[in-house]
Amino acid sequence: MAGGLPDFGTPEIVPVRAGCAPKCNKCGRVCPTGAIRSLPLDIKRRTSIGTAKHIDTICLPRSETENCTVCHDTCREVGRNAIHFEDRMVYYRNPEDEWDEISMLFEIPVVDPERCVGCGMCVTACNRANVRQRKVLPEPAIKVKPRKVQVLQKV
């Protein structure tokens, strides 16, 4: 409930806990107020509720810390394929030998906003793998920016 009292009772996805699984549409079927529309699965899968975006200073490959494919692999597993990689070669000087250069290839994850529906499954996976299990991040390195949806009242 980020918007305070005006948003009280408004449903929201909290991807750190759980994303919106693409094979599930129970929310719309069980919502007692109709705030979540009941959509057939094929339409629900095509409905965009937001867009994911990496946090450059936290994301392991974007901050040139280590390669990580968690968000990409999860997005692919759920059938979205909205995250692809761009290669970035980084060169370092060997501190023990000024003539020796060390290079490392980072696969930088990039979200395709045309394919991303904002389900948050990537956030859930990053939180589980990198925050809770490996404890290498303070928070997930990817967030979902919700898309404002106008709720139309029945006439």
Q: Within a domain: residue 5?
A: no
Q: How many domains does the chain have?
A: 1
- Residue-number span of the structural domain to which 61 is assigned: 21-146
Domain assignment of residue 153, yes or no: no
> What dihedral do alpha carbons 26, 30, 35, 41 form, nearest 10°?
30
Determine the Cα–Cα distance for residues 15 and 18; give it in Å rounded to an integer: 5
Q: What is the pTM of this model?
A: 0.77
Does 11 map to a domain?
A: no
- CA distances 101 to 15, 87, 96, 108, 122, Å, are 41, 19, 10, 21, 35
Q: Is the residue at 118 inside a domain?
A: yes
Domain membership of residue 124 (yes or no) is yes
Sign of the alpha-carbon dihedral angle for 18, 23, 27, 28:
positive
In a domain, 10, yes or no: no
pLDDT in tens, the chain (155 residues): 455 555 555 566 777 788 888 888 888 888 887 777 888 888 888 788 889 999 999 999 999 889 999 999 999 999 889 999 999 988 877 777 777 777 889 999 999 998 998 899 999 999 999 999 999 999 999 999 988 653 333 33
Of 122, 134, 135, the C-alpha closest to 50 is 122
Q: Does 135 reside within a domain?
A: yes
Evaluate whether residue 29 is within a structural domain. Answer: yes
CATH number at residue 54: 3.30.70
